[in-house]
């Protein structure tokens, strides 16, 4: 992935990485910084400099911003901002933490699924259609229909978040036409030609039913493993005009007749014969889904994303927990080996027209003689009689092997349900059925574990084939392996070793009946050098210093405090939901001025990252996810003179229910830190401006164990006087690599809020630099290097 210049600022945004580029536009992951240091992840789409003077493209770009900014729906990525920075036009839109539908289908094929499971495909389709239905029926401020048509519905423009949300993006060639306007009809053919509607091929103006046709093509692709219209552009356009494509059941006999009838209605050549609205199409799919799979829930989308992208999520410190009910459903939904073989021979996977993340250029109708370059789809020749089947498509991170006969398990050791590959390759049925066999085995393991109070671990590594030790006992199997009968609610030490690689270990603990996916990334060992001299004994980091203090080590073990739940305002949350939280009102902590902010701490499972577990709330919305309980508090050593109440407004996203108000009393919910729970820096000059910078160390601070990742932040309190015991302070948040400047303070208190201190490790490094003296001119200049000190 190509990176922009490190620390590149673009207006009020900071560009973090370029995630896609096309002929005319670039897309970046970015961070917006608002007042009081509040940040928000966003996506920036901007015109490439060479096309800033292209009036036609600029008009299309502005049109996208105008249309998308007026759309507010849970299934459409929200546009927040549009503007110009140094001559470059840009759109700032919602960051969706997930993948495109095209990459989801690609990963499913890599895992041996050449079609998506029907219930999951329909769950995705219904959400996509609901977003389209909203856009199609939008009215302007005077109540006139806008007649918005997306005109580019395709898997590349449907995003699936890891939480299971479905978002429609890229209204770059959409049209909004006011009722009665004299806007000229544009006959240019734009979009991805394999998803065109027949009327677009004939040069007619597309309408909402053209989007319905394109949505039908997307659903066909999910259920059949290929597009209905394939080939070079002239061939595709001819087939589109004639309605010449294989019936869904010809490619996938597992599609029910009723579902095929719904698809064929959406793909009718004449638009008058299609569903009149996207809402009617969605209702038809919903009725079928409730009949064919009444036990499926929307949470299955999130579990499926975890199942597909387990290696990437685990590598980011986000373990994947798959409920046994979902694994049982996957065993039912996954096709049999014979069906998969037949489908693979009839309809080999088709290569995407553009690489993932690239923005495909629009093709006008005049370019029919110069079709988009497209390599022929790889053909899989039928196997001769008696020959072994071709191996499944390779998977980049992990290969799950079938289960051999189980070896007797000792009472104190877990049972291993996988072994290393045999010499000479895998048996024929194993090569065909490994994915479904693994799902069935995991389901069986879960059923056993539920009845015996145990859980399972699906342990993989990159590279695979590593030796395994569990609680110090070597195992016969090598990665990947399924470990079963691990006693629940007890910690177990997993160790993975491979010659030439750095040994890896992790402690796991899970509830009864669950399966924990754990992935070990084994890093190469550095070339052997002379043994380093033994490190001298290091005294514990101090809990208090005076300026000048030099470099300060902040320990997540020594400088952490257990959040006193009895002294916090708290509210139960649903970990599967996303919330926005902000503070309203003011309260007095006994000083001259009032405060309009509070600290917060989140309880949650292993999906809650350490860096998201605490922070500062103010008047700006802050997003909260993967949390089971919210705690809000004030930091004050003397609460007897406090008065007033802050209101914390909690709003659940995607739910029409009313906001919940959590009241934070300045006296009841004020927390005092003891000297043993924090670090205190004294001796700051109130008339001097100081710059505080945090850096990670060789062992970054962690407050939620290995799975929680680095915490990368610390909660701060600063004020005047001798210290926090003598005067109230103001809350702030210091984050790694983000300098914070403060003036008018005599002391700074820092601490890591936490609920379980036993799994804390590592430290952060704090540098304090005076950047402006009492009279304004710079004192000693800050370091010019942007890299952390060593």
Residues with a catalytic annotation lie at: 152
Residue 54: is it exposed, middle or buried by C-beta count within 10 angstroms (0-12/13-18/19+)? middle
Alpha helices in 729-787 (DSSP H): none
Cis peptide bond prior to 463, omega within 30° of 0: yes
| DSSP labels, 436-484 | HHHHHHHHHHHHHHHHHTEEEEEEEEESS--EEEETTEEEEEESSEEEE
Instruction: Evaluate whether 714 touches 554 at the Cβ level (below 8 Å).
Output: yes
Residue 480's nearest CA partner among 421, 415, 425, 431 is 421
Residue indicated by tokens 């860096």: 611
Give CA–CA dist 410/472, Å, rounded: 14
Query: Looking at the DSSP assignment, which residues form a beta bridge with residue 517?
Result: 320, 458
> What is the sign, positive or negative, of the torsion defined by CA atoms of 258, 259, 262, 268?
negative
Instruction: Evaluate whether 67 touches 171 at the Cβ level (below 8 Å).
Output: yes
Q: What letter does residue 161 receive in the DSSP assignment?
A: E
Residue 46's nearest CA partner among 14, 89, 6 is 89
Give CA–CA dist 397/387, Å, rounded: 28
User: What is the number of other CB atoms lying within 10 angstroms of the CB of residue 182?
Assistant: 6
Q: Terminus-to-terminus CA distance in the chain, angstroms?
A: 28
Name the packing angle between helices 299-308 and 118-136 (round to 10°): 120
Residue indicated by tokens 């900014």: 69
Q: Compute φ and ψ for 779, nearest 5 degrees.
A: -85, -125
Residue 355: is it exposed, middle or buried by C-beta count within 10 angstroms (0-12/13-18/19+)? exposed
- CA neighbours within 13 Å on the CB side: how many for 526? 3
Q: CA dist 252 to 255, 541, 629, 639, 751, Å? A: 6, 65, 45, 69, 59
Q: CA dist 681 to 244, 597, 678, Å? A: 76, 22, 10
Cite the beta strand spans of 35-171 per DSSP E.
39-47, 79-85, 88-94, 98-100, 158-161, 166-168
Residue 413's nearest CA partner among 462, 465, 477 is 477
Residue 213's nearest CA partner among 225, 198, 192, 201 is 198
Q: Helix, strand or coil for residue 700?
A: strand
**φ/ψ bin of 654: left (φ > 0), alpha (ψ from -120 to 50), beta (otherwise):** left
């Amino acid at each position: 992935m190509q990176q922009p210049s490190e620390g590149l600022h673009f207006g009020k945004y900071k560009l973090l990485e370029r995630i896609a580029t096309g002929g005319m536009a670039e897309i970046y992951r970015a961070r917006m910084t608002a007042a009081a240091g509040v940040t928000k992840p966003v996506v920036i789409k901007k015109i490439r400099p060479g096309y800033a003077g292209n009036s036609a493209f600029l008009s299309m770009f502005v049109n996208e911003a105008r249309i998308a900014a007026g759309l507010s729906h849970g299934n459409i990525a929200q546009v927040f901002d549009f503007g110009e920075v140094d001559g470059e036009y840009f759109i700032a839109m919602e960051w969706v933490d997930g993948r495109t539908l095209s990459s989801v289908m690609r990963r499913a094929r890599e895992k041996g699924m050449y079609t998506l499971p029907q219930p999951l495909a329909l769950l995705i389709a219904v959400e996509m259609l609901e977003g389209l239905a909203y856009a199609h029926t939008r009215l302007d401020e005077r109540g006139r229909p806008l007649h918005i048509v997306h005109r580019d519905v395709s898997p590349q423009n449907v995003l699936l978040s890891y939480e299971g949300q479905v978002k429609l993006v890229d209204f770059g060639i959409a049209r909004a036409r006011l009722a009665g306007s004299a806007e000229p009809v544009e006959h240019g053919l734009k979009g991805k030609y394999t998803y065109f509607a027949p009327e677009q091929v004939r040069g007619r103006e597309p309408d909402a039913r053209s989007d319905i046709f394109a949505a039908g093509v997307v659903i066909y692709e999910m259920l059949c493993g290929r597009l209905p219209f394939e080939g070079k552009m002239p061939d595709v356009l001819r087939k589109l005009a004639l309605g010449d494509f294989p019936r869904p059941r010809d490619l996938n006999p597992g599609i029910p007749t009723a579902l095929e009838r719904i698809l064929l209605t959406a793909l009718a050549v004449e638009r008058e014969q299609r569903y009149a609205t996207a809402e009617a199409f969605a209702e038809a799919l919903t009725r079928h889904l409730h009949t064919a799979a009444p036990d499926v829930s929307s949470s299955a989308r999130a579990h499926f994303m975890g199942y597909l992208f387990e290696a990437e999520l685990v590598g980011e410190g986000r373990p994947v927990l798959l409920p046994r009910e979902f694994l049982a459903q996957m065993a039912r939904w996954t096709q049999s080996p014979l069906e998969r073989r037949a489908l693979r021979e009839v309809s080999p996977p088709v290569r995407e027209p553009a690489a993932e993340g690239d923005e495909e250029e629009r093709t006008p109708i005049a370019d029919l003689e110069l079709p988009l370059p497209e390599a022929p789809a790889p053909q899989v020749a039928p196997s001769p009689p008696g020959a072994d089947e071709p191996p499944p498509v390779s998977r980049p991170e992990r290969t799950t092997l079938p289960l051999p006969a189980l070896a007797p398990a000792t009472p104190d050791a877990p049972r291993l349900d996988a072994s290393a590959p045999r010499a000479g390759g895998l048996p024929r049925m194993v090569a065909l059925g490994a994915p479904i066999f693994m799902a069935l085995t995991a389901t069986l393991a879960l059923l056993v574990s539920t009845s015996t109070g145990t859980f399972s671990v699906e342990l993989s590594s990159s590279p695979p084939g590593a030796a395994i030790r569990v609680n110090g006992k070597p195992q016969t199997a090598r990665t990947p392996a399924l470990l079963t009968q691990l006693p629940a609610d007890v910690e177990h030490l997993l160790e993975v070793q491979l010659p030439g690689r750095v040994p890896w270990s992790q402690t796991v603990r899970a509830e009864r009946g669950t399966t924990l996916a754990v992935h070990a990334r084994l890093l190469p060992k550095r070339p052997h050098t002379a043994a380093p001299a033994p490190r001298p004994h290091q005294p514990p980091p101090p809990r208090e210093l005076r300026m000048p203090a030099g470099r300060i080590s902040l320990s997540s073990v020594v400088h952490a405090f257990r959040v006193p739940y009895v002294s916090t305002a708290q509210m139960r949350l649903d970990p599967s939901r996303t919330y926005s939280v902000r503070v309203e009102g003011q309260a007095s902590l006994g000083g001259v001025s009032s405060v309009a902010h509070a600290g917060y701490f989140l309880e949650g499972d292993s999906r809650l990252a350490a860096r998201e577990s605490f922070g500062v709330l103010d008047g700006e919305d802050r997003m909260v996810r993967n949390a089971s309980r919210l705690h809000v508090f004030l930091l004050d050593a003397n609460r007897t003179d406090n008065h007033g109440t802050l209101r914390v407004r909690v709003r659940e996203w995607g739910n029409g229910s009313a906001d919940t108000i959590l009241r934070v009393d300045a006296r009841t919910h004020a927390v005092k830190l003891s000297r043993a729970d924090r670090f205190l820096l004294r001796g700051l000059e109130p008339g001097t401006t100081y710059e505080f910078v945090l850096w990670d160390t060789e062992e970054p601070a962690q407050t939620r164990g290995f799975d929680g990742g680095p915490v990368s932040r610390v909660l701060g309190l600063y004020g005047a006087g001798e210290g926090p015991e003598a005067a109230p302070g103001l809350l702030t948040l210091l984050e790694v690599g983000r300098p914070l400047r403060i003036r008018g303070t005599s002391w700074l208190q820092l601490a890591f809020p936490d609920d379980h201190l036993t799994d804390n490790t590592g430290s952060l490094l704090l540098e304090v630099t005076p950047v402006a003296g009492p009279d304004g001119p710079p004192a000693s200049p800050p370091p010019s290097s942007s890299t952390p000190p060593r």
